[in-house]
Structure 1
Amino acid sequence: MPLRTVFTTLLAGLLTTLGTLAQAADSPSARIVGGNQAPADRWPWMAQLAIDDPNLPGGYLLCGASQLSPRWVLTAYHCTQYQNDALATANRMFVYIGETERKGTSPQPGRIPVEAIYRHANFNNFSFAHDLALLRIPATSNNQWPSLADNGTFAELEGRSLNQRDEAVTALGWGQTGSGDLSVFLREVQLDYIPKNTCQSLSTLIIPDSTICAAELNPVNNINQDTCFGDSGGPLFIGEEPNPWLVGLTSFGLENCASGAPAGYNHVTKEIAEIERLTTQGGVPLVDMTISGGTTRHYQPLNGTQTITATLRNNSTRNTATNATVSRSLIGSLTTSAHFDWNGCSTLISASRCTVASNLAAGASRTGNVAVTDSSGTDQVVTLTLSASADENDYRRRNDSLTQEIVFSDNPDLALSAAQQTSSPTRATVALTLSNHSPLNAATNTGISFPLPANTQLVNGPALGCQQSNPVYCPVGNLSPEQSEILTLEFTTDTGINQAFTFTVNADQNDIPGDTDTQADVTVQYNATVNTAASDSSGGGGASLWLGLMAMLLGVRRQRN
């Protein structure tokens, strides 16, 4: 059943009830139960869609949506239908962007008319496959919106462990909250991502290939969470960042929201080609510009020059990028400069952008260089940012910039890490790794110092040549460029109480400016299991509950008529 909601001033409850009774027991139902009120201004690209349905005098249909660019809003296909499934017309659809309070169809500040509707060519009104549509709107001033997840981003989500999938995705909406009423204010909910290869076995609905799934499999304090009626078309995205990776659009689920069964979300990553086609059809094509390079940190001596090689690519599936451009910005001293060494670009230091191709076809790329020169004569870390753009707007802005650091220094680049290795009731070992990342400069007379907690002894201190003062100092020796050394410390205590250690690097030379990795903190645990990173248990008891839910649903699974 679609997760769209009918709303009228007087008959909201009655209409919702009648709509529910009209659905088959296991048909997909178009819909935040649980969750929290969303922070104001956190997601300024979040949109609400109000449809003036001529079959609902005094009422309207409510859906969510996401702004992708100044001219495009992305929502579910079924959100562009009236209650009787007839196709809605653009003149009866209105959008509000960045508003946290639910609005309606009546004229009020912030209401944006829809110019045209572009629907997925292969939408299935029975299975809700390819439940996607684009709304063209007049240009808006908002310049912050999500990025559509690419194959690599989605594969990373799909390949996460059970523990990592717990509350890995966030949904937004103004839909029903469990009381039967729509929410007045925008709400958010964090859900567990369910891999595609297990979603079907957890649901009594047919899950199309164009659908991904999410649910709350291990509710905290027995508070169930889900999307529900009125949330249709809204975003499902990874994490809680303001400019996230968008992976899904709320599409359908069982009528009984927050039952633990998965809800279906349109699989945005699989729809990229159609999104490009529809935006081209609408006269305002979107593209995917990327810029990439190699190593993110480079090293040069004082007053040196570093050449950065980068590749500008039109990563679109079909759309051509017009006036593909590279822009640069530089953070460093006033005597640091940069210039393009790119075919067709000006080599003047004053040139901060360069159009490398008037037309860059889908899949085509251009490679060039930017040279960064230091004339300050002092240690510094310079940051160069390269950005890709075109005349068309980008639907994946998260990958259209490249940041490179250039270290101009005659000093080493030291870094320290610490990890507990073994544990017993009175003994523990900690491994310290001291590295010199600089490929140019050596570090001499390096060592590590740390305060020794009360009732604690460094057992192997004499063997390591440590000075048993407080703080303790243990020598490491000279480190050549790009060399690392491991120092293993063995501690004993007569209390068995966990102890916090802070280890600090010492050397004849200074470290590079602004670095914070020459200090490492670790809490030493006695009589505890260490190296628990490989453990795959969820804090909410996800594994056992997952299996229990699977067994329960398999017992009632059936095909829809």
Structure 2
Amino acid sequence: RPLPSPQMLWLLFLSLPGLGGSVPSFPGPGSGTQQGGPVGAHNAPTGRWPWQVSVRQYNKELELWQHLCGGSLIHHQWVLTAAHCTQREDWEAYGLRVQVGQLRLYDHDTLTTVTKIVRHPKFNQSLSAEGGADVALLKLEAPVTLSERIGLVPLPPASLRVPERKMCWVTGWGYSSLGVTLLWPYQLQEVMVPIVGNEVCNQRYQNSSTNTGQIIKDDMLCAGSEGQDSCQGDSGGPLVCSWEGTWVQVGIVSWGYSCGHRDFPGVYARVMSFISWIRKFVPPPS
């Protein structure tokens, strides 16, 4: 079966229900489980997802800090992203930078230096995202100043159970490595996706695999459904759901079979599984 590689920044495809062409009205954080939804990704309005960040690596040929992965601001000085985004050995902390508060990629960049990369100790370099524990923390050189465009995403309690079919939102600038370099200012995309239970998700992946073991690990979470595909999610970016009237980040875009396969939900790192590990480094909001 096809194995994802860390270079495939389009790792996640998002399959969306329905075949109509309507653009959804935006649900407030109080919205609960609902059926239906949009066909594909669409432009995110200013200030709707203020925790979204762009993780950058330097491209010598282009002399540009190039978009590598998504991430989320969980503290004034810490970004949550996928471990596979940081796994190349020559990417020490100084090899990554972060852009906060940006809607259009590369539009008036003001990059922040990353001073520390903390990968989860159970992340396996050779298995990459499919091995699980695909979570990493990036410490920023200086705390960022919060504003209307720059905000923190709340983390859920470790005990939170996200119900199947609950509609949640994933954001990103789309795939950026299929021989296409995103050089122009490109608008952040948002997509609504239904949560898929781990057992159902595991069955779908096993059906097309020779692997009879557990493909979808307990520290993973699936979202997306049969129907039209969309490839807007960036690895490392946030999946957020409404919970008790606020947004909480429940997933980190991790992996999935490539775009065009309609039967495979996208696979995310399950944030609830990593709360205690995150809190070893990142203090809760005061």
User: Which TM bucket (shorter chain)?
Assistant: 0.7 to 0.9
| Alignment-derived partner of residue 264 in structure 2 | 261
Matched, 1:210 2:219: yes
> 1:241 offset after TM fit, Å?
11
| Alignment-derived partner of residue 186 in structure 2 | 184
> 1:264 offset after TM fit, Å?
1.1
| Alignment-derived partner of residue 57 in structure 2 | 51
> 1:257 offset after TM fit, Å?
4.8
What aligned pairs does 1:338-417 form with structure 2 within 5 A after superposition?
Answer: 393=285
> 1:74 offset after TM fit, Å?
0.5
Q: Secondary structure at the match of 1:147?
A: coil
Matched, 1:139 2:143: yes
| Alignment-derived partner of residue 32 in structure 2 | none
Paired with 1:63 and 1:224, the residues of 2 have a C-alpha distance of: 20
| Alignment-derived partner of residue 124 in structure 2 | 124
| Alignment-derived partner of residue 529 in structure 1 | none
Distance 1:242 1:184, change over 3 A: farther
Paired with 2:246 and 2:96, the residues of 1 have a C-alpha distance of: 26
Q: Secondary structure at the match of 2:97?
A: strand
Preserved CA contact (<8 Å) 1:90 1:117: yes
2:230 is aligned, of 200, 219, 225, to 225
Which ranges of structure 1 fall in alignment gaps of 5 or more residues?
7-28, 280-284, 288-392, 395-561
| Alignment-derived partner of residue 114 in structure 2 | 114
Q: Secondary structure at the match of 1:202?
A: helix
Distance 1:242 1:76, change over 3 A: farther
Structure of larger gyration radius? 1
> 1:30 offset after TM fit, Å?
3.4
Distance 1:271 1:87, change over 3 A: farther
| Alignment-derived partner of residue 73 in structure 1 | 79
- The residue identity in structure 2 corresponding to 1:209 is D
Larger relative CO (CA 8 A, sep 6+): 1 or 2?
A: 2
- The structure that is strand-richer by fraction is 1
Q: Deviations over 1:21-41 (max 9, x none)?
A: xxxxxxxx7346631111111
Preserved CA contact (<8 Å) 2:13 2:259: no
Paired with 2:179 and 2:171, the residues of 1 have a C-alpha distance of: 17
Moved over 3 A (4+): 2-6, 29-33, 56-61, 179-183, 225-228, 239-243
Paired with 1:257 and 1:175, the residues of 2 have a C-alpha distance of: 15
Preserved CA contact (<8 Å) 2:6 2:84: no
CA RMSD of aligned residues (A): 3.0
Aligned residues: 239
Preserved CA contact (<8 Å) 2:173 2:232: no
Paired with 1:239 and 1:32, the residues of 2 have a C-alpha distance of: 22
> 1:243 offset after TM fit, Å?
5.2
Which ranges of structure 2 fall in alignment gaps of 5 or more residues?
15-39, 210-214
Paired with 1:102 and 1:70, the residues of 2 have a C-alpha distance of: 21
Q: Deviations over 1:2-35 (max 9, x none)?
A: 57657xxxxxxxxxxxxxxxxxxxxxx7346631
Preserved CA contact (<8 Å) 1:2 1:31: no
Preserved CA contact (<8 Å) 1:237 1:244: yes
Paired with 1:257 and 1:271, the residues of 2 have a C-alpha distance of: 31
Paired with 2:189 and 2:262, the residues of 1 have a C-alpha distance of: 19
Paired with 2:103 and 2:272, the residues of 1 have a C-alpha distance of: 27
Paired with 2:256 and 2:247, the residues of 1 have a C-alpha distance of: 24
- The residue identity in structure 1 corresponding to 2:11 is A
- TM-score with structure 2 length normalisation? 0.73
What aligned pairs does 1:409-448 form with structure 2 within 5 A after superposition?
Answer: none
| Alignment-derived partner of residue 512 in structure 1 | none
Q: Deviations over 1:480-517 (max 9, x none)?
A: xxxxxxxxxxxxxxxxxxxxxxxxxxxxxxxxxxxxxx
| Alignment-derived partner of residue 174 in structure 2 | 175
Identical pairs, percent: 27
- The residue identity in structure 2 corresponding to 1:184 is Y
- TM-score with structure 1 length normalisation? 0.39
Preserved CA contact (<8 Å) 1:66 1:73: yes
Q: Deviations over 1:522-555 (max 9, x none)?
A: xxxxxxxxxxxxxxxxxxxxxxxxxxxxxxxxxx
Matched, 1:234 2:237: yes
1:102 is aligned, of 97, 102, 105, to 105
Distance 1:88 1:30, change over 3 A: farther
- The residue identity in structure 2 corresponding to 1:212 is L
Preserved CA contact (<8 Å) 1:53 1:61: no
| Alignment-derived partner of residue 523 in structure 1 | none
Paired with 1:103 and 1:243, the residues of 2 have a C-alpha distance of: 29
1:37 is aligned, of 28, 32, 43, to 43
Paired with 1:243 and 1:37, the residues of 2 have a C-alpha distance of: 22
Q: Deviations over 1:53-111 (max 9, x none)?
A: 67x775745100000011111000011133xxx2511112111112011129xxx5421
> 1:52 offset after TM fit, Å?
2.1
Paired with 1:197 and 1:48, the residues of 2 have a C-alpha distance of: 32
